């Protein structure tokens, strides 16, 4: 009897293992099939992390825009981009971890025949496309000409570079097509909770897409005025209208989904950064009430910035405010304040965007201050100052509206280093200066682009050499992208 029982148990065990043999070999922690929603969420997270991180290996834009200064290791403030492979790390994250996931998500969504709601499928594809356009725009604005039409093809490891202006043309076309597809009608759906920015709200994505279109329009306005005018005027009636429209990414109090500023400044227990004297001196002169939410006061009182490009003693200068370094402090991909400044720029160029340059300028400052919790009375007092009041500031400005709007836009972009750096490059204000020659003998101006990754020069050499030869000034950090003209 025991032998029969043992035989039956062995037969059952062998049979069970044989029937489920393939299942037993599946590594559940490394799936071979990933839902499109997971890829979309992952792309959002990687994009936001990259644009938010202060990590010196890839996210040095707060240094380039002179919001922060280094303490012990000032190399990045002196524009050593190569030693840590910074351009390469930024490039890889956006191509490999963001665009590849978005591209794969679109492939899976398109092939999925199980959708019960055709509008939901169309909305998912359109929103993914908008996220792609946003990411491509960042790459173009950072490097200039980049691989585009031949990029993301696993069968082509040597993609050619496309002309940056032509890429912008195509991005406008793609963005318009995506916006035309979005359906925000009653009961409309998209990604739901997998959308970590708008929780699947299609109406918000329509506003985001149009705000992105406005942003791209003012970016190219100096070189393609008629195209910029048409795009800005078409987008303006449909852009952000309040802080509630902000494209905000909510981090959590506990790892792993935490604010990368916390990870790099608090969790790592490193004191590598202080406020830069560039931004502190300007805000002190203007008695800007945002100094309190931006920075800490020094022991003797007041706000003091470290010398940009020099070694700085951490204990002597103002630090990043603890609210910003909290693990759950949110990150922004686009804000209402930002959009109002773009509208101010458009109005100053006499584009028909409704409202004056002054009204949008004021709205941009007000929105920034409300976001940072500044009381209304202090906002009003700030706007009344002769150096801030649009009319009086414009009358005194040698640089015209670019100087007036550019300065306030740059201040409002605190903690969004890439956008602050891009504002400086687009408008030439504020007129940031490179560190003194004693600190930085190789650079007499602030970098205006990232150089291409070292891997491109080695692995994609023929295409790299071709594009590098076409850049005025060559593949150096002081060359300019196509829209950045003198």
pLDDT at position 24 is: 54
- Residues forming a β-bridge with 334: 247
pLDDT category at 16 given cuts 50, 70, 90 is: very low
Region 383-392: mean pLDDT is 98
Neighbours of 454 (CB within 10 A): 13
| Chain segment 401-426, per-residue pLDDT in tens | 999 999 999 999 999 999 999 999 99
Return the exposure string of 51-81: e unless at least 16 CB atoms fall within 10 Å of the residue's CB, then b.
bbbbbbebbbbbbbbbbbbbbeebbbbbbbb
| Alpha carbon distance 208, 410 (integer Å) | 21
CB-based contact 277:341 (threshold 8 Å): no
Token pair of 190 as six digits: 């998209």
pLDDT value, residue 18:
45
Quickly state the pLDDT bin for 3 (edges 50, 70, 90): very low
pLDDT one-digit tens code per residue, 330-374: 999 999 999 999 999 999 999 999 999 999 999 999 999 999 999
Percentage helix, strand, coil for the chain under 3-state DSSP, each rounded to 5: 55, 5, 40
3-state secondary structure of 168: helix
Q: 208-236 burial by CB neighbour count: b if 16+ within 10 A, else e?
A: bbbbbbbbbbbbbbbebeebbbebbbebb
- Residue closest to 273 by CA, chosen among 335, 344, 236, 325: 325
Domain boundaries defined on the chain: 36-71+78-250+330-470
Residue among 68, 177, 90, 81 nearest 129 (CA): 177
Distance CA 486, CA 405 (A): 18
Cα 271–chain centre separation: 24
Q: For 36-71+78-250+330-470, CATH number?
A: 1.25.40.390
Q: Exposure string (b/e) for 14-45, b if CB count within 10 Å is 16 or more?
A: eeeeeeeeeeeeeeeeeeeeeebbebbbbbbb
Give me the mean pLDDT over the 376-405 stretch.
98
Q: Output the average pLDDT for the chain.
A: 93
Task: Give the pLDDT confidence of 95-129 residue by residue, as tens digits.
Answer: 999 999 999 999 999 999 999 899 999 999 999 99
Q: How far is CA 31 from CA 85, 107, 316, in A?
A: 31, 17, 50
Region 300-327: mean pLDDT is 97
- Tens-place pLDDT, residues 231-274: 999 999 999 999 999 999 999 999 889 999 999 999 999 999 99
pLDDT, one tens digit per residue, over 25-55 is 455 555 556 899 999 999 999 999 999 999 9
Distances (CA, A) of 329 to 58, 93, 240, 250, 322: 20, 22, 22, 7, 10
* Cβ–Cβ under 8 Å, residues 104 and 153: no
Tens of pLDDT, residues 214-224: 999 999 999 99
Q: What local confidence, expressed as pLDDT, does residue 1 receive?
A: 42
Name, in order, each residue with C-beta under 8 angstroms of 392's C-beta and a sequence gap of 6 or more. Answer: 386
């Amino acid at each position: 009897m025991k032998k029969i029982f043992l035989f039956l148990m062995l037969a059952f065990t062998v049979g069970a293992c044989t029937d489920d043999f393939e299942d037993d070999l599946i590594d559940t922690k490394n799936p071979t099939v990933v839902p499109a929603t997971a890829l979309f969420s992952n792309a959002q997270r990687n994009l936001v992390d990259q644009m938010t991180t202060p990590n010196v290996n890839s996210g040095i834009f707060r240094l380039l825009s002179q919001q922060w200064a280094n303490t012990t290791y000032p190399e990045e403030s002196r524009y050593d981009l190569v030693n840590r492979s910074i351009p390469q790390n930024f490039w890889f994250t956006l191509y490999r971890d963001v665009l590849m996931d978005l591209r794969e998500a679109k492939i899976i969504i398109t092939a999925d025949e199980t959708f019960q709601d055709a509008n939901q499928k169309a909305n998912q594809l359109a929103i993914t496309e908008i996220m792609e356009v946003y990411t491509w725009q960042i790459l173009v604005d950072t490097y200039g000409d980049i691989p585009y039409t031949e990029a993301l093809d696993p069968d082509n490891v040597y993609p050619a570079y496309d002309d940056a202006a032509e890429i912008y043309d195509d991005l406008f076309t793609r963005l318009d097509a995506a916006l035309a597809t979005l359906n925000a009608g009653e009961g409309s759906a998209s990604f739901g909770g997998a959308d970590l920015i708008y929780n699947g709200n299609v109406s918000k994505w329509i506003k985001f897409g149009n705000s992105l279109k406005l942003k791209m329009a003012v970016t190219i306005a100096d070189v393609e005025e008629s195209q910029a005018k048409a795009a800005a005027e078409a987008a303006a009636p449909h852009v952000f209208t309040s802080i509630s429209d902000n494209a905000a990414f909510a981090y959590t109090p506990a790892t792993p989904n935490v604010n990368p500023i916390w990870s790099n400044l608090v969790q790592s227990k490193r004191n590598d950064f202080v406020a830069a004297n560039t931004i502190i001196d300007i805000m002190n002169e203007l008695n800007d009430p945002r100094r309190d939410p931006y920075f800490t006061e020094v022991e003797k009182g007041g706000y003091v910035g470290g010398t940009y490009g020099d070694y700085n003693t951490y204990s002597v200068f103002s630090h990043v405010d603890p609210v910003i370094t909290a693990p759950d402090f949110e990150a922004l991909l686009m804000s209402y304040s930002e959009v109002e400044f773009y509208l101010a720029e458009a109005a100053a160029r006499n584009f028909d965007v409704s409202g004056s340059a002054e009204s949008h300028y004021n709205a941009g400052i007000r929105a920034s201050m409300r976001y940072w919790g500044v009381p209304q009375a202090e906002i009003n007092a700030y706007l009344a100052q002769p150096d801030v009041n649009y009319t009086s500031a414009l009358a005194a400005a040698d640089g015209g509206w670019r100087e007036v709007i550019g300065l306030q836009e740059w201040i409002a972009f605190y903690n969004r280093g890439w956008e602050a750096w891009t504002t400086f490059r687009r408008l030439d204000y504020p007129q940031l200066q490179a560190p003194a020659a004693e600190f930085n003998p190789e650079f007499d101006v602030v970098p205006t682009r990232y150089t291409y990754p070292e891997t491109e020069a080695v692995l994609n050499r023929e295409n790299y050499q071709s594009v590098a030869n076409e850049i005025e000034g060559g593949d150096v950090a002081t060359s300019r992208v196509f829209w950045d003209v003198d």
